[in-house]
Structure 1
Amino acid sequence: MVDPPLSAPPDTRREQARDWCRSLSRLNRAQYWLLTRAVRWCAGFGALYGLGGFVLGWGTAYEVMIGIKSPRDTPHPGLSVVLSLTGWLLVPAFVGGAAGYLVSREIDRRRSVPGVEVLDRMRSEAGGPSEPPARGDA
């Protein structure tokens, strides 16, 4: 008698997580960036805001982050300065960079004519000075 072929054991959660991470490469660059890098930035900012909320109080952390309240007017000015700088420098830079990247991707995706070709067409239609006439031998 022949034994039936053995089936492979089901994947463990670790193997499933590894396979999911490897499958992210099929996404386009923006989706890949949002799922890998942006999540880390948002988690870091969320952790900092959460720490500020627990230490300073949620209302105070919010007011320091958006600049209503000075970091020096809190019981923990060191944490408040970091939270204030994060709210005023890093968050707008992150949001602006992500938005700029996504908008430029959409513009590039919709562009049907290469930029060099557009510039050449603009130069020819501008009608700049013509070539000098050829001199005849006299």
Structure 2
Amino acid sequence: MSSASAPSPGGPPPPGRRQRLRARWADRHALPRFGLWLLSRGVIVLGVCGALYVLDGFLIGWANAYDVMVGITSPAAVRPQWCAWPLSLAGWAAIPAVIGSAAGYVITEQIHAHHAREMDDVLAELRRLAAPPPSSGSGA
């Protein structure tokens, strides 16, 4: 007789960490459009903006990097300028675009939530609510 253990009848082994992460990444398509964009492309945009801010923070100082990014200080007024111009463009174009798209998405979702029903359905429900209740059949 051999001492090898027989396979358990409980089915396949539970998925490993890599398989669970892969399944979660595949499930990202179930997110709303803005959530999917934020996970797929927005992370890249925000990561580049963050990397530019950190680079400029070390090269021109944190206060100057913030002032250049929000447009208080011109990138031409700091040294070195080669790193301040991309940060200024990111602060002027990319960050407002992400914020604007988030606001637009929220507003669009609210509008769609209020237009989810057809006009005929709404009118039929209003007529049903406005109609007098049926009488109970015993008269006298």
Q: TM-score of the superposition, structure 1-length normalised?
A: 0.68
Residues 30 and 85 of structure 1, relative CA distance in 2, 3 Å threshold: closer
Query: Is the counterpart of residue 4 in structure 1 residue 7 in structure 2?
Result: yes
Q: Which residue number corresponds to residue 28 of structure 1?
A: 32
Identity %: 38
Specify the alignment match of 2:136 in structure 1: none
Structure 2 stretches lacking a partner, 5+ long = 120-140
> Which position in structure 2 is the counterpart of 1:68?
72
Paired amino acid for 2:66 = Y
1:53 Cα deviation (Å)?
A: 1.0
Measured in 2, the distance between the counterparts of 1:27 and 1:67 equals: 34
- 2:100 equivalent among 72, 96, 106: 96
The one-letter code sitting in structure 2 at the alignment partner of 1:68 is I
Unaligned runs of 5+ in 1: 118-138
Change (3 A) 1:82 1:30: closer
Higher relative contact order, structure no. (Cα contacts within 8 Å, ≥ 6 residues apart): 2
Matched residue pairs, number? 115
The match for 1:57 is 61
Could you tell me how far apart the structure 2 residues matched to 1:27 and 1:83 are?
A: 31
Q: Which residue type is aligned with residue 95 of structure 1?
A: I
CA RMSD, aligned part only? 2.6
Could you tell me which residue of structure 2 aligns to residue 126 of structure 1? none
1:59-138 equivalent positions in 2, closer than 5 A: 59-113=63-117
* Cα shift readout 1:101-126 (whole Å, capped 9, x = no counterpart): 22112211221456xx6xxxxxxxxx
Where 2:6 maps in the other structure, the secondary structure is coil
Tell me the TM-score normalised to structure 2 length: 0.67
